[in-house]
C-alpha cells in the first residue's frame, strides 16, 4: 500500500521558505513575507542554539491530524489499471487529512516590543491568506491552507527577562492517495442448470 502524504517536508518547506530546493537560498514563503533571513527561521525541534531576536520557529504538529472524507456523491474509491503490471489493477482510495503547522515569533524586551513581534505574525497571516489559500494543488498534493489561524500571546519570563512569544496554528488540508494491488481476470464462466418443461439442461455463461 502506498501513501502520498508519508512525508510533508517539501510542503512545509514551500510554505515556510518558498522553495523545496535544498541548494537554493530561501528568500520567499512566510519567512520572506516577514522580512526574516533564513538564519532566523528554525525548526522548533532543532536541538541547536536559538538565533538572535527576533526569530521564528515552525513545526508540524504530530499527532493531531484527522481524515476528511468527501461527500457520498463524490466517491473516494476507484479501480485503475496497474501501470507496472498490465495483468493487474489497483484499488485507489482518495481522501484528505487535516494537519496543523505551528508558527512562533520571538522577541525579547526591552529590545523588542510586543507590537513589533505581533506585526511579524500579522504579516505571516496576510501571506497565508492572500497567496497560499488560492493554491489548490501545492506540489501536486492537492494541499491548501484552510485559514491563516489566530494569533495567541504566549509571552513568558525566561532567565529573568521577558521573552515575547506570538504563536499561530495554521490548519492545512492535504490530499491523500492510497493504492492496493488487486488480482484481475479477463473472463469468468458460470455453469447454470435449468429445468425447462421438467427436463434438466446445463448451460455455460461467460462474463
Would you say residue 173 has pLDDT above 90? Answer: no
Would you say residue 122 has pLDDT above 70? Answer: yes
Of 146-150, 174-178, 182-186, minimum mean pLDDT range? 182-186
Long-range residue pairs from 72-79, CB within 8 A, at least 24 positions apart, any chain: 79/182
Give me the count of residues in the chain: 207
pLDDT > 70 fraction of the chain, expressed in percent and rounded: 73
Would you say residue 143 has pLDDT above 90? Answer: no
Would you say residue 141 has pLDDT above 80? Answer: no
Would you say residue 189 has pLDDT above 70? Answer: no
Q: According to the model, what pLDDT value does residue 72 have?
A: 53
Report the pLDDT averaged over residues 125-129. Answer: 92
Would you say residue 159 has pLDDT above 50? Answer: yes
Contacts for 131 with CB less than 8 Å, ≥ 6 apart: none
Would you say residue 166 has pLDDT above 80? Answer: yes
Q: According to the model, what pLDDT value does residue 97 have?
A: 82
Higher pLDDT, 81 or 52: 52
Q: According to the model, what pLDDT value does residue 82 have?
A: 79
8 A C-beta contact, residue 53 and residue 39: no
Residue carrying the nine cell digits 493504492? 179
Provide the whole-model pTM: 0.73
Render pLDDT for 32-68 as a digit per residue (tens, 0 to 9).
999 999 999 999 999 989 999 999 999 998 755 677 6
Higher pLDDT, 41 or 147: 41
Closest C-alpha to 62, from 30, 98, 93: 98
Range of the domain at 34: 2-206
Number of independent structural domains in the chain: 1
Which residues are 165's β-sheet partners? Answer: 106
Radius of gyration of the chain (CA): 27
Would you say residue 5 has pLDDT above 70? Answer: no
Given pLDDT bands bounded at 50, 70 and 90, which one contains residue 80? confident
pLDDT > 90 fraction of the chain, expressed in percent and rounded: 41
* Residue 135 CB neighbour total at 10 angstroms: 13
Amino acid at each position: 500500500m502506498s501513501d502520498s502524504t508519508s512525508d510533508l517536508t517539501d510542503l512545509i518547506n514551500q510554505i515556510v521558505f518558498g522553495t523545496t530546493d535544498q541548494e537554493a537560498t530561501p528568500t520567499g514563503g512566510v519567512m520572506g513575507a516577514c522580512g526574516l533571513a533564513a538564519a532566523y527561521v528554525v525548526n522548533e525541534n532543532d536541538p541547536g542554539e536559538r538565533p538572535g531576536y527576533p526569530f521564528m520557529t515552525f513545526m508540524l504538529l504530530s499527532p493531531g491530524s484527522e481524515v476528511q472524507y468527501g461527500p457520498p456523491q463524490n466517491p473516494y474509491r476507484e479501480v485503475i489499471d496497474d501501470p507496472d503490471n498490465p495483468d493487474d489493477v489497483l484499488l485507489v482510495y482518495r481522501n484528505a487529512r487535516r494537519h496543523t503547522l505551528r508558527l512562533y515569533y520571538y522577541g525579547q524586551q526591552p529590545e523588542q516590543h510586543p507590537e513589533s513581534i505581533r506585526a511579524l505574525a500579522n504579516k505571516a497571516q496576510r501571506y497565508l491568506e492572500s497567496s497560499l489559500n488560492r493554491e489548490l494543488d501545492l506540489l501536486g498534493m492537492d494541499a491548501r491552507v484552510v485559514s491563516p489561524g489566530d494569533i495567541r500571546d504566549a509571552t513568558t519570563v525566561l532567565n529573568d527577562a521577558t521573552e515575547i512569544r506570538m504563536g499561530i496554528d495554521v490548519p492545512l488540508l492535504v490530499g491523500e492517495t492510497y493504492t492496493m494491488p488487486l488480482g484481475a481476470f479477463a473472463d469468468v464462466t458460470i455453469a447454470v442448470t435449468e429445468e425447462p418443461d421438467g427436463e434438466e439442461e446445463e448451460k455455460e455463461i461467460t462474463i
